[in-house]
Amino acid sequence: MKIIITGGAGFLGQRLTKCLLNHKTAVNSRGQEERIDQIVLFDVVPGRDFQDHRVQYVFGDISDKQQVTRLIDEDTDSIFHLAAVVSAHAEEDFNLGYRINLDGTRHVLEAARALSHAPKVVFTSSIATYGGVLPDIVTDETAQLPQTSYGASKVIGELLVQDYSRKGFIDGRALRLPTISIRTGLPNKAASTWASSIIREPLCGQDAICPVQPETPMTCMSPSKVIDALIHAHNLPVASFTERRSILLTGLSVTAADMAKAVERHKGNRDIGRIRWQPDEGIQKIVDGWPKETRSRRAELLGFPKDESLDEMVHAFIEEDMDDQVRLYEKTGTEEL
């Protein structure tokens, strides 16, 4: 089995690759377990060296149709389409956001459509597809009305996955992801980046800036549960998706203040960094338009994972990722983020 991961050098792409390598097999289009022979990571930047003969890097731009067409060849069984420009960056640069998030998705789907078989395509959507006046809990029945260009491009991507699947060009599955916390790495231009840095940096002895008010809620999901969900979506029988190809995932609702308190609970004997509350009106407006909580009965019935508590998420970061994060700070010389 050959699997392609767009955005393969990114945070999710690297974690997904590691997990797939450990699994060694995946479910093919016939519903059978098959050995993973090759994982191709497509990105504009390099990623880690997995030192595994099954992993290959291809450098390129998802908005370049010819490159994507060459990438997705007849040997391709499955595609995890993760490549995207993040929320606030897409809002700042309208042309870039749509070139990557919309045109890039079209290129992936068109390249898949050109194959003699229908590959599986797992598309990462977002809770940014919701907006406007929302209920306290967003469910499977809540209408999508994005208030950002990023969210709009993700809604369009979901509809394209639905239609290409309806026509039999692909076997598509789209997941509406909550905010991922706690990410490793450095802060980026995502409007949600604070939901990781407010925990990650202080526990590693670094100062962090929080651009939203303490009472601001965010619906979150841990990296491990997101990766489990992506693989679970890929391996589910096609009959699970015949009605709707998009699935909302259940997130854990926590406020910025909750996260700050969790840092205190888990600091142990560490010298923790400070959280600096510096509200940013633009970021606050974007975040205020997102769901405060998501709850999906459909995801539950289909066996998708969910997080049970914020403390569990913080403990997992400390046990699994914090040492690597500290080494990253030592390498970059970062003192305040």
Which residues are known to be catalytic?
Answer: 150
Half-sphere exposure of 152 (CA within 13 A, CB side): 12
Residue 106 sits at φ, ψ, to 5 deg, of -60, -40
Residue type at 165? S
Distance from chain centroid for Cα 313: 16
CA distances to 78, 227, 233 from 302, rounded to whole Å, are: 20, 16, 9
The token duo for 315 is 């403990």
Residues in Cβ contact with 110 at an 8 Å cutoff, skipping those fewer than 6 apart: 65, 69
Exposure string for 194-209, b = 16+ CB within 10 A, e = fewer = bbbbbbbbbbbebbbb
Q: How far apart are CA 67 and CA 327, in angstroms?
A: 35
Q: Which candidate, 285, 290, 269, places its Cα nearest to that of 133?
A: 290
Q: Are 83 and 97 in contact (CB under 8 A)?
A: no
- Token digits for 218? 């965010």
